[in-house]
Amino acid sequence: MQGGILVVGAGGLGCPVALYLCAAGVGRLGIVDGDTVALSNLHRQIGHSWQNLGESKACSLRRACLSINKTSSVEAYSFRLESVEQAAELMQGYNVVVDCTDAPFSRYLLSDAAIASGRPLVAASAVGLSGQLAVYNFEDGPCLRCAFPTFPGSEEASEPVASCEENGVLGPIVGTVGSLAALEAIKVLAKGTGLHASCLRGRLLLFDALDAAQPFRSLRIRRHPDCVGCSLRSARNPPGLPPRGCPAGLPGSDLVGLQAEELQVRLRAGRPTLLLDVRQPAHFSVAQLKGAHNWPLPELSRTSAEELFRKTSSLESDCKGAGASEEPTQVVCICRRGVDSLRATLLLRQAGVEALNLEGGLLALARVAQEAGFALPALT
Catalytic residues: 164, 335
Q: Which of 284, 265, 285, 281 is nearest to 273 (CA)?
A: 265
Where does residue 361 fall: left (phi above 0), alpha (psi -120 to 50 degrees), or beta otherwise? left
Give the side-chain half-sphere CA count within 13 A for 335.
23
Contact 151, 247 (CB under 8 A): yes
Q: Which of 139, 118, 131 is nearest to 17 (CA)?
A: 131
270-291 CB burial, b ≥16 within 10 A, e <16: eebbbbbbbbbeebbeeebbee
